[in-house]
Amino acid sequence: MPDDLELSKGGAPQQKPRGDDDVLTTAQGAPIADNQNWLSAGPRGPQLLEDHIAREKIFHFDHERIPERVVHARGYGIHGHFELKKAIPEYSSAAIFNEVGEKTPTFTRFSTVAGNKGSPDLARDVRGFATKFYTKQGNWDLVGNNIPVFFIQDAIKFPDLIHSAKPAPDRGFPQAQTAHDNFWDFVSLSPESMHMIMWIMSDRAIPRSFRFMEGFGVHTFRLVNAKGEAKFVKFHWKPKQGLQSVIWNEALKINGMDPDFHRRDMWDSVEAGDFPQWDLGIQMFDEAFAESFEFDVLDATKIIPEEQVPVEIIGTLTLDANVDNFFAETEQVAFCTQNIVPGIDFSEDPLLQGRNFSYLDTQLKRLGSPNFTHIPINAPKCPVHNFHQDGHMAMTNPKGRANYEPNSWSGDMDDNREPRGPRASAERGFTSYEAPVAGPKVRVRSETFADHYSQARQFYISQTPVEQTHMGNALVFELSKVERMDIRKRMVGHLRNIDDGLAKVVADGIGMTEMPPAATPARQPITDLPESPALSILKNGPDSFKGRKLGIYIAEGGDADMVRALQEAAKSAGAMVEIVAPHVAGAKLSDGKMMAADQKIDGGPSVVYDAVALVMDEAAARNFGEDKPSSDFVSDAFAHSKFIAYVPEAMALLEGAGVAKRMDDGFIELSKPAAAKDFIARCAKLRFWDREAVKKD
């Protein structure tokens, strides 16, 4: 028996605790020379399936959990359709891109990445944004995220990344968090993660709603036209509702109050007929641009700024139907990056190529059969013809005698022979773009992937001061949960290569007495990349209050005309309204009539609303000025920089919440019903961010 094994109680060999000097091996015990790079045909060539080390690693990772997804377990799905607004036959022969006005059925699933099915919606995390298009040529899956880059460049590192972010194996926590040693240990040893770190430490990682976030295909793909000509493409989803996120303190309180906040928001929006929409945009570029671009277009840790290659809008996704059964649809839907149709093709992006292998393998484990395409939510809506047969849960099998191809059975039924079945078609079938491939079999990372800091810096300097402050606060919070000082120092060393001011803020925030040296970069960063306004949420905010939610806190004696004016103004702007009251039965207003409440005050805190209004008489305001849920309703709205409207009689509640002496231009006095329209117009800006600057000063 090998020295590193010992018998368990059951008599089976069991590994001893791993030591720092042990050589990494495969599951078969073969020592591994390189655990960082998938075997490829040349430094920038496609990955090779003969790489038994990478395949074993991904294979084992894909089969770690049942039946929950290993990643993206916490998800929510919606039916809809995609309507083409601009045909692009010059770029792609795909039918979905060639007939203006055609509507293609879709199913979209949003999700967090790291948490399990029971984790809260507003964890700081990447959000999955995966759409299945049921096209005339088969299913196309655009499996993306709300962030356009990723942590790693090569798929062989995916198990390590996710293991580091998931609960530690010895203690089983933390859940749906990256604020712990394992995650920051991994990324601090992986400089390629630094660009992604900037994104997840930004407000992008805590969106207000699925409806208010962008989506990205992440990878570089190819579009191929009928002549066989190809161009590179990146896919973008642009929300028609505009961008919006919450702040961290707000996210924590929402999770405590309603861990299903994102799900509930989407369900309510669709049920109310306020259907979320996204424009699909493409960034098209050729080999010449790829050669001249500062970074490698095959590197999934990089973006192509929209200022360099504009996003061309070609169609609109509308989500307009909630599922009938969560398990049958949202849980059983299977997305695979390999699901493409003629006219769309892959690039040699090593992370994409690894995903193409991993996703199909994952479905076998999760759904239990290669026949997962027979499940209605996964089944194409176009004709399907093949010779696949049998297997668990087979719903259809080939008819007749021929279950193989080629066969010589005739299609002429008069001679008592059976139909021959489908055949491949060179004219209609999928053909891969003939990209030249040559190179030695190597296990290396291309030198063109070596710049890990330049775009991280570009992202940071493209944010507004408010957003930069949030990023610094997020890094301080996360690293304050890291116990090991060497990990903290490594991270601050990386930050010094991104922005020395940010590094100083973080170092001060976690109590470092002296700054660690900057990390040694693999390639010298480019420090003069221009700002990219498209990367900021606040620079791309909405111009109306449409799709948002107003919370009106009413109590006894409140002005009935004012409440109605607020409701009408909000609804005219396309916003939703909820009435909050001390009791769920509601309150009797100035007209002597009871107005029913949608929420009781301790079940409808201000964190779930985009703006709030206070309508009550003086006696009620004095009475609830010392009521904790009531004062929290106001003080939280103030702390989260929300617009607050109030009738003069409600001043005692503002005093009880401790904000009366700090009132600013984010407060709007409702002296008469006509002021309601002015208030809703002000709410188009969503937050009064000047308040944060004052608090900081």
- Measure the CA–CA gap between 520 and 488, rounded to whole angstroms: 16
**Catalytic pick among 37, 72, 378, 452:** 72
* Active site (annotated) includes residue 255: no
Residues 355, 141, 282, CA angle at the centre, nearest 5°?
100
Query: In the numeric block, which tokens belong to residue 115?
Result: 């948490």
Pick the closest to residue 147 from 300, 276, 310, 275 (CA basis).
Answer: 300
Query: In the numeric block, which tokens belong to residue 96?
Result: 């979905």
Decide: 488 and 482 in contact? Cβ < 8 Å.
Answer: yes
- Measure the CA–CA gap between 195 and 693, rounded to whole angstroms: 26
Decide: 534 and 305 in contact? Cβ < 8 Å.
Answer: yes
Mapping DSSP to helix (H, G, I), strand (E, B) and coil, where does residue 596 land? coil
**Catalytic pick among 37, 139, 145, 255:** 145
Does 207 sit behind a cis peptide bond, omega within 30 degrees of 0 on the bond before it?
no
Decide: 74 and 326 in contact? Cβ < 8 Å.
Answer: no
β-bridge mates for residue 77, sequence order: 109
- Measure the CA–CA gap between 309 and 346, rounded to whole angstroms: 20
Pick the closest to residue 695 from 669, 670, 656, 666 (CA basis).
Answer: 666
* Active site (annotated) includes residue 52: no
- Measure the CA–CA gap between 455 and 592, rounded to whole angstroms: 61
β-bridge mates for residue 144, sequence order: 129
Mapping DSSP to helix (H, G, I), strand (E, B) and coil, where does residue 157 land? helix
Which residues make Cβ contacts (< 8 Å) with residue 500, sequence separation at least 6?
none
Could you tell me the CA-to-CA distances from 201 to 126, 285, 493 in Å, in that order? 10, 30, 17
Q: So which residues are the catalytic ones?
A: 72, 145
